[in-house]
Chain A
């Protein structure tokens, strides 16, 4: 009837001691705690997903609007803008306007666009430094920033704008 267990001198009929129960409970607790940690991370990611989608839409919108302004008139809309300066875009009564003010969308997203000069090498490829200035092409960068749990996240996309009308 009595079976001796290896490292505790108790009979198999006696059940568990308090210490054993405590150890088992703490192992289970540690396991559960780890699972909750993973679930929490998943939650954070899932909940911030909507903001990423909104911000991407806003960033794409500003590229599209700048293309519209380019198509409308390069000399009136694009040429007067200073290079390497942050601008905002406002939509009012059916008109898109470039403004020097900071523009907040839904009091959450700060959207800016920046134009910078483009240089080309002798074979006409765009290079980051050196080369000759191409006055009819500009690098357009659209930034959308928002605050996510105290940290600022920025979504940035870019394209080149070419002066098609006056070439």
Chain B
């Protein structure tokens, strides 16, 4: 079983001797170094993943909300000024129009505990903002002339907590056709 020690370039040892302390130290150092690098990377990936998750919630909510608002505004006949809350936060927008069959159609955009909701003819059709996002401010500003009427929307959406908290403000305007 005994092997004669042979020269291996770096350390001289026989099989029965095992590793020298120096070798062990070097290998452990390499292992620790690799672990530090990898753990750092994993931590930063998790960190940025959470930020991106918050941003994605915000962006999807913003796109859904502003797009739907613009579409509904364009096909509306009029804005019910009396029932709407214009120029202040939280805003509410009541649009009157007619559907494809010629029946009256009322669309309401309103905030319900941080979620932008849409209702058609008094029936809730669902949320426009994501469940992970909160609408912290929603203001509708009307602008009109004798021939045209439009609504400027300012919507601030936030998502995430503490370090991962993000808040973005989006603007959109649409006029009634």
Contact = CB atoms under 8 A, between A and B. Distances in A.
Interface of A: 10-11, 13-15, 17-19, 21-22, 25, 28-29, 32, 36, 39, 43, 46-47, 49-50, 53-54, 57-58, 60-61, 64-65, 67-68, 71-73, 91, 94-96, 105-106
B173 A65 contact: yes
Given A25-B34, A28-B34, A72 B9 contact: no
B58 A50 contact: yes
Interface string B133-177: 000000001111111101010000000000000001111111100
A94 B30 contact: no
Contacts of A71: 145, 147-148, 175
Query: Which of A10, A54, A95, A105 has the most CB atoms of chain B within a 10 A radius of its CB?
Result: A54
Given A10-B8, A21-B30, A32 B173 contact: no
A68 B148 contact: yes
Contacts, number: 100
Interface string B9-24: 1110001000100010
Given A54-B170, A73-B145, A68 B175 contact: yes
A64 B173 CA distance: 7
A139 to B, nearest CB: 20
15 contacts: A10-B8, A13-B15, A14-B8, A15-B19, A25-B30, A47-B51, A57-B62, A58-B171, A61-B171, A65-B173, A68-B143, A68-B145, A71-B147, A72-B147, A91-B152
B36 interface: no
Contacts of A50: 55, 58-59, 168
A96 B143 contact: yes
Interface stretch (B37-45, B77-85, B90-98, B119-127): B37-45
A50 to B, nearest CB: 6
Contact of A19 (B9, B34, B171): B9
Nearest to B51: A47
A14 B6 CA distance: 11
Contact of B45 (A25, A39, A49, A73): A39
A91 B143 contact: yes
B115 interface: no
**Residue of A19, A53, A58 with most partner-chain B CB within 10 A:** A53
A67 B142 CA distance: 15
Interface in B37-70: 37-38, 41, 45, 48, 51-52, 55-56, 58-59, 62-63, 66, 70
Contacts of B70: 60, 64
Given A28-B34, A29-B34, 5 more contacts: A19-B10, A43-B52, A54-B170, A57-B66, A106-B169
Given A32-B41, A43-B52, A47-B55, A57 B143 contact: no
Contacts of B145: 68, 71-73
Contacts of B8: 10, 14, 17
Contact of B27 (A10, A21, A60): A21
Contacts of B48: 43
Contacts of B58: 50
